[in-house]
C-alpha cells in the first residue's frame, strides 16, 4: 500500500473518520538514522497509533533490481497519542527528539492528504520546499556540493551562484529535485 498506518480500536482517528480523544495529539518523532521502520514495529507491538509514510523505490545491487519500501521523510515518524506514549517511544532509544506540533489540525490535514495519496498508490517523491532566499546545495549528479540561492519562487529550478564581493551572480538551471536546503 505504501504507508504504514496503525491505530487502536478504542482510539480511532481520521483514518476511519472518528474524532480523536481529548488527551491524544500528534507528536513528530525525529528518529535516529535509519530507525523509522524498527520504531514503527516497536510502536505497533506497544499498540501505539502512528503513521509512517512509505514509498516504493527501486534499488540496484549489481545486476539485481529490487523494489523496497523507504520512508518518504527519512528520520521522521508521526505518533498519535498522549505525551506519555511519546515518552515511551523516546525510551526505546530510537528517537533523537520529540518535536512539538503547534498546529494539530494543520498536521492532521497534511497527513490525511499523504495517507489518501499513498493508499491510492500515488507515486510520491520527497521534494524540498524551495522558496525565495533559501540557500540550497545540489545533493547528487555532476554538480554535487555546489551551493547557491533560490531567487525566484516561481522558478525553483533556477539556482543563483552569488559573488557578493563583486555584487553579481551567475544563474544556472537545474532539476529542483536535486536541491536540498542547507539552512
Express as a percent the part of the chain with pLDDT over 90. 33
| Mean pLDDT (the chain, rounded) | 79
Q: Does pLDDT of 153 surpass 80? A: no
Specify the pLDDT at position 77: 95
Residue 110 in grid coordinates: 497534511
Confidence of residue 10 (pLDDT cuts 50, 70, 90): very low
pLDDT for 3 equals 46
26 Cβ partners below 8 Å, 6+ apart?
78, 79, 80, 101, 104, 107, 108, 111
pLDDT band for position 9 (cuts 50, 70, 90): very low
Q: Which has more confidence, 161 or 64?
A: 64
User: 5-9, 53-57, 77-81: which has the minimum mean pLDDT?
Assistant: 5-9
pLDDT at 127: 62
SS (H, E, C) 95-159: EEEEECCCCHHHHHHHHHHHHHHHHCCCCCCCCCCCCCCCEEEECCCCCCCCEEEECCHHHCCEE
- pLDDT exceeds cutoff 90 at 183: no
Q: What pLDDT is attached to residue 135?
A: 83
Is residue 96 over pLDDT 90?
yes
| Cell matching residue 88 | 515511551
The model's pLDDT over 21-76, given as tens digits with 9 standing for 90+, comes to: 678 899 999 999 999 999 999 999 998 989 999 988 888 888 888 999 999 888 99
Average pLDDT, integer, range 6-16: 40
Q: What is the pLDDT of residue 76?
A: 93
* Span 124-145, pLDDT tens digits: 776 666 677 788 888 888 888 8
Q: What's the N-to-C CA distance of the chain in angstroms?
A: 33
Largest CA distance in the chain: 64
Amino acid at each position: 500500500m505504501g504507508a504504514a498506518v496503525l491505530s487502536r480500536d478504542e482510539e480511532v482517528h481520521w483514518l476511519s473518520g472518528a474524532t480523536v480523544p481529548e488527551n491524544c495529539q500528534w507528536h513528530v518523532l525525529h528518529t535516529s538514522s535509519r530507525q523509522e521502520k524498527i520504531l514503527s514495529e516497536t510502536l505497533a507491538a506497544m499498540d501505539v497509533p502512528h503513521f509512517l509514510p512509505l514509498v516504493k523505490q527501486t534499488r540496484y545491487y549489481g545486476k539485481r533490481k529490487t523494489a523496497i519500501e523507504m520512508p518518504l521523510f527519512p528520520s521522521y515518524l508521526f505518533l498519535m497519542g498522549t505525551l506519555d506514549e511519546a515518552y515511551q517511544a523516546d525510551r526505546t532509544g530510537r528517537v533523537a527528539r520529540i518535536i512539538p506540533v503547534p498546529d494539530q489540525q494543520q498536521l492532521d490535514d497534511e497527513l490525511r492528504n499523504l495517507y489518501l495519496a499513498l493508499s491510492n498508490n500515488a507515486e510520491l517523491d520527497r521534494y524540498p520546499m524551495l522558496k525565495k532566499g533559501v540557500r540550497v546545495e545540489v545533493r547528487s549528479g555532476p554538480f554535487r556540493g555546489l551551493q547557491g540561492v533560490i531567487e525566484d519562487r516561481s522558478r525553483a529550478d533556477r539556482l543563483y551562484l552569488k559573488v557578493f564581493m563583486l555584487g553579481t551572480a551567475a544563474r544556472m538551471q537545474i532539476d529542483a529535485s536535486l536541491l536540498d536546503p542547507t539552512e
